[in-house]
Amino acid sequence: MKGIFSALLVPFDENGAIKEQGLREVVRQNIDQQQVDGLYVNGSSGENFMLSTEQKKAIFKIVSEENNGAVKLIAQVGSINLDEAVDLGKYATELGYDSLSAVTPFYYKFTFEEIKNYYETIIDATGNNMIIYAIPALTGVSMDLAQFDELFQNEKVIGVKYTDGNFYLLERLRKRYPNKLIYSGFDEMLIYGVISGVDGAIGSTFNINGKRAKQIMELCHEGKVDEAYEVQHVTNDIIEKVLDLGLYQTLKEVLYIKGIDAGTCKKPMSPLDASKKDAVKQLVHDFDL
């Protein structure tokens, strides 16, 4: 369960329906071309929080079929509807996903005891492993070391997707829990996570730039930090341009240019502005994506 995991993109048509063949092509691109170690399915990059339960299940099934045991699979089942999270967790477990993950419940100001109960309910109902998805900038939920201590007491909580810039807390978690999995969640900060001892990373840009992410990890593990920084510099040049043009729209357009039917984004997200298509082509050319 270590290494680089793509936060999987999902192609949609103009009516918001899943493009099954396109999704299969995106899975293959990640496995065959980017050579990732795993796929993180139905996270933010899959536009998950705009989907129906049935769409989420369809994505889990299609990805499982196309992957066919090639790489590790993590199913993000988090929802502020706990019944839905349990239902999705059971379904993904039946499909053979290697672990579940769940974003901390958001929008309402849940207490830590409510958050802890949320995770324990999903684990108890499914019997599967759980990776906490901590992304305080979007959920408004910041957990301290003592709260992670409580969550990690459950042996089924095997790790955390740590999308946070607090590297002091990351260092404290790494020291205290050498046997728990810690995944870096910020692609642009990957090198700092690797230096801090993360076991892997989960990111959206790995759909098009996974090879460089793997290179950063490998160079750091070999002690070649200066070389790793050079790869991170290039990676961040790419990320800056992608963010400037529109994150998910640009990632999908890059895949389209590569011959993959990555579809469009689900409303209320807008499609890529046609005036930006030449800039995306230049991005692909300049960075050999």
Which of 119, 133, 183, 248 is an active site residue? 133
**Residue 115, annotated as binding a ligand:** no
Is 140 annotated to bind ligand?
no
52 among the known binding-site residues? no
Q: Among 56, 161, 180, 266, which one carries the catalytic annotation?
A: 161
CB-based contact 89:75 (threshold 8 Å): yes
Question: CA dist 258 to 37, 100, 239, 288, Å?
Answer: 21, 31, 18, 11
Q: Are 154 and 119 in contact (CB under 8 A)?
A: yes
Q: Is 185 annotated as a binding residue?
A: yes
Query: 281 an active-site residue?
Result: no
Q: Please indicate if the annotation marks 188 as binding a ligand.
A: yes
User: Catalytic: 133?
Assistant: yes
Q: C-alpha dihedral over 279, 9, 143, 190, to 10 degrees? A: -50
Sign of CA dihedral 244, 246, 248, 249: negative
Is 204 assigned to a binding site? Answer: yes
Annotated binding residues for pyruvate, as ranges?
202
Annotated binding residues for aceneuramate, as ranges?
44-45, 163, 185, 187-188, 204
Annotated binding residues, as ranges?
44-45, 163, 185, 187-188, 202, 204
Catalytic annotation, residues: 133, 161
